[in-house]
A = this chain, B = another copy of it.
């Protein structure tokens, strides 16, 4: 879940039951399935350009510190992630969002066969960044590859090159369906998102940009009334009862949201 817009309390985004728009979208992630109980993380921009991250290895649904902090964090750019381990250890350094400088990165999905070609990927990371990789996940390596290929200058191209490299390396190891991803990344001002998989069977990704419509449907929700014209959500799962408020991000596409500007475009990996 990613939010960009007027400052809101994280609690309003994560927990408040009356906020059906946000709450339901999150409930599908935050506890609805067993497979998302392997740690969680939130990231936000507050006192400085470097974002804060709070991550823990317990399930999000019962973490009392998360509730405490969510009640205090008021931010205009908020990331939240719940993890389902695909084999790597449940430890804080494997929880999303990952951070580098003032950037955050979250990934749903997997690099299939990662264990078999991990070495080839991490040796492709820029040497000066190599030792900053703290965890053992495919998601973090994908982030560092994107950083290596210029994420901070041109996110669309950098992610396309990172994915292109993964696919080529995987094919060399006879893995044909290597990439499965929805990704969200931000520098604190803009929010980029990607939906792509090698087999063109990507996990779902949705964004909301019609705040007025959502507000009209839910006049009882106080926080919605406070949402400004710039409020944007990017979520993995749509809200069944608010189909009109959500746009599905198409297969093999990417987008960016920043103040006064939304953009969607096709996404195509760039082979090395």
Which listed segment binds B: A44-52, A100-108, A155-163, A262-270? A44-52
Q: Decide if A62 touches B48 in the complex (CB within 8 Å).
A: no
Q: Known contacts A33-B34, A92-B89: does B69 contact A52 (CB below 8 Å)?
A: yes
Interface size on A, residues (CB 8 A): 50
Shortest Cβ gap from A203 to chain B (Å): 19
Tell me, yes or no, whether A119 is within 8 Å of chain B by CB: yes
Q: Known contacts A34-B34, A127-B119: does B71 contact A69 (CB below 8 Å)?
A: no
Q: Decide if B59 touches A47 in the complex (CB within 8 Å).
A: no
Q: Decide if B72 touches A47 in the complex (CB within 8 Å).
A: yes
The quantity of this chain's copies bound in the complex is: 4
With a cutoff of 8 Å between Cβ atoms, the chain B residues found around residue A73 in the complex are: 72
Tell me, yes or no, whether A23 is within 8 Å of chain B by CB: no
Q: Known contacts A69-B52, A74-B47: does B93 contact A89 (CB below 8 Å)?
A: yes
Tell me, yes or no, whether A90 is within 8 Å of chain B by CB: yes
Shortest Cβ gap from A225 to chain B (Å): 18
Q: Mind listing 28 A-B residue pairs with CB under 8 Å?
A: A9-B47, A34-B37, A34-B61, A37-B59, A38-B59, A46-B72, A52-B68, A52-B71, A55-B65, A57-B58, A58-B90, A59-B59, A62-B90, A64-B89, A64-B92, A72-B73, A88-B134, A89-B91, A89-B92, A89-B134, A91-B92, A93-B136, A116-B131, A118-B130, A118-B131, A119-B130, A122-B122, A123-B123
Residues of A within 8 A of B (CB): 9, 31-34, 37-38, 44, 46-48, 52-59, 61-62, 64-65, 68-69, 71-74, 85, 88-93, 114-116, 118-119, 122-123, 127, 130-131, 133-136
Q: A31-B34, A114-B131 are in contact. List 5 more A-B contacts (CB 8 A).
A: A53-B68, A64-B89, A65-B92, A91-B92, A122-B122
